[in-house]
Structure formats: C-alpha cells, structure tokens
Amino acid sequence: MPLDETTTAGEVMAGVDLSGRTVIVTGASTGIGLETAANLAAAGARVVTGVRNEEKGKATVATVADRVEGAAVEFGVIDLTSFASIRTFAEEFLGRNEPVHLLINNAGVMNTPFEHTVEGYELQFGTNHLGHFLLTNLLAPALLAGAPARVVNLSSGGHRSSDILWDDPNFEHRPYEKMTAYGQSKTANVLFSVELDRRLAGRGVHAYAVHPGVINTELGRYMNSDDYDALLARVKASGRVMPQRKSIEGGAATSLWAATAPELAERGGLYLEDCHVSEALPYATDPEAAKRLWALSEEFVGQTFSP
C-alpha cells in the first residue's frame, strides 16, 4: 500500500525484522518516542530508551515490555539540558563496546518560557539541538561500528518560524519570542542532519530530519490558546493551511520509515514528512549554513569532532 499522511507506525513496520540491531531512542517515555520504541522492539531490535530520570526509565521499560512480549528493552538516563549527563551516558554506553545501528533523536521541548540549560543556553536550542548534537557525536564511534547505521533527528514544519539567529541564538540581546526560538531549534535539527550526513555518509552512516506532523503529545504542554492562535496566524500569513492532526501512531510513522525504509539506504541529509522525501525551506538545508552551525555548536559544547 502507498505511504502517506494517514500511514501508521504499524503499517510502516509490517514485515520489518530488526533482530540483532541496537537502537537508542531519546524522549522515549511518552508520545511519539514511546510509540517509536515499542514498534522497534516489536520488530526484534534491542532498544535503549533515553529518559530524564530513573523513575521515567523504569516506567518506560515496563510499558514497552507490557506491549511487546519478550521485548529487549532497557533505559539510560539522558538529560539533554545537561552536557554532563549526556557525556556520562555516552561514556557508559561506549564502555560496552557495542555498535549502534539506529539513533532516534526524538526528545524535545516546544514554546517554553525563557529558560536556560545547565550550561546557560536558551532552553529550546540547547535541548532540541545542542544536546542531540553532543550525544550523536559522542556516540559516533558506536554508529560507525554499526554501519550501515542511521540517525533520525526529529525536526518540525515549525522550522519555518525562524532561521538560525546567527548574531544572537541565545536571545541575550533581543526580546525572547518562544515560537521563534522553537523554529530556530527545528531549523538546527535539519542543518545538523545535512552536515552529519556529509561527514559520515561515506563511512556508512546516514542522517535524516523528520517532520512528524501535528500531534497532541506532551510536547505541546506549554501551548495556550493565545499561542495556538499565533501559530494559526503564522500559517495563514505564509499561504499554507494548518494540517490535520495525527494520532500518536501516525506521528511515529515517518520516524520509523526514516529508520528502516530500504529506499533510503543510499540517501541521506534529507527532510522527510508523511513517509516521503519532502522539502524544508532553503535556509534549513543550505550546506554552508550547515557547516557554520556545526562550528558554532562545537564552540558551544566545548569539543571539536573529526569528520
């Protein structure tokens, strides 16, 4: 059957066998992340769920195990607002000398009040981009060991709200605008996918940016009626139409397609939605902007990563 905006996670994964594959999914305790993790486990993968604390981790493992008989699932604590937490997880995982075949960078925050990560970066940019940038690069040796491997970065159609604010990404000199900050972080997810694929594709690791659709999950917990009205106004002003809401099963479909579709095996650096290759705005896929963001991100995380 053709895949489109109505496709569900189960339909994408029908007949997929991931036996012997190791997968890491961040933000796996609820919503799309939990649905993604459960479907990957059902396909036979060993799934490591990245969660913010031990309590959420135990609950996530129990939920997946309850849904999937015989699931090989565990958890690791990854607080994406803390570089120290990310480094601790990566060090412990790499200490196992095990490959990673799929890394699903699913976790995220949206339209938050003006807050900062532990290291002082604007919360949405710091969590959605910098945390995953650091995690992915630290895990690169395991991804290369698992090649052919894939990295799936959850972006959003919300990238249309803002390019990277190159002169002030942390809103130190301009008034904070939460939708702009979210848009910047989602543009960063696409640019990161472009540059990561350029660097690692020749060694068997491809990267993809995914727009999952509009879904009711905990991601929207900071959204109020005024925020939603402002979002509708932005969509209308751009000449677009607000898409229909998807179920959580539908929201996980494109992530799973990016992770498993055979037709993507030799392609990467792509923006995907509704289980097909789509197009982000030009500023989000510009190769030179992607290189510039990589350099800025290395500066922020305090570490340089080899190509």
What are the residue boundaries of the structural domains of the chain, listed by start?
A: 9-300
Q: Is the pLDDT of residue 232 over 90?
A: no
Chain mean pLDDT for the chain: 93
pLDDT range class, residue 214, cuts 50, 70, 90: confident
How far is the first Cα of the chain from the last one, in angstroms, to the nearest whole number?
Answer: 39
Length of the chain as a residue count = 307
pLDDT at 244: 73
CB count in 10 Å sphere of residue 220 = 15
208 is catalytic: no
- Mean pLDDT across the stretch 42-46? 98
CB count in 10 Å sphere of residue 176 = 14
- Mean pLDDT across the stretch 51-69? 98
**Comparing 214 with 64, which gets the higher pLDDT?**
64
pLDDT range class, residue 243, cuts 50, 70, 90: low
CB count in 10 Å sphere of residue 57 = 20
Amino acid code (one letter) for 179? M
pLDDT range class, residue 220, cuts 50, 70, 90: very low
pLDDT range class, residue 242, cuts 50, 70, 90: very low
Q: Helices then strands (H, E): number in the chain? A: 13, 10
Which one is catalytic: 121, 182, 208, 271? 182
Quick one: what percent of the chain has pLDDT higher than 90? 88
Beta-strand relationship, 276-278 and 270-273: antiparallel
25, HSE (Cβ side, Cα atoms, 13 Å): 31
Q: Is the pLDDT of residue 231 over 80?
A: no
pLDDT at 58: 98
Tokens 């509009």, residue located: 214
Cβ atoms of 248 and 217 closer than 8 Å:
yes
Q: Which residues lie closer than 8 Å to 77 by C-beta, 6 or more apart? A: 50, 51, 52, 53, 54, 57, 85, 88, 89
- Would you tell me which CATH number, out of the four given (1.10.1520.10, 3.40.50.2000, 3.10.20.30, 3.40.50.720), belongs to the domain 9-300? 3.40.50.720
- Rounded distance, CA 67 to CA 87, Å? 31
Q: Is the pLDDT of residue 219 over 80?
A: no
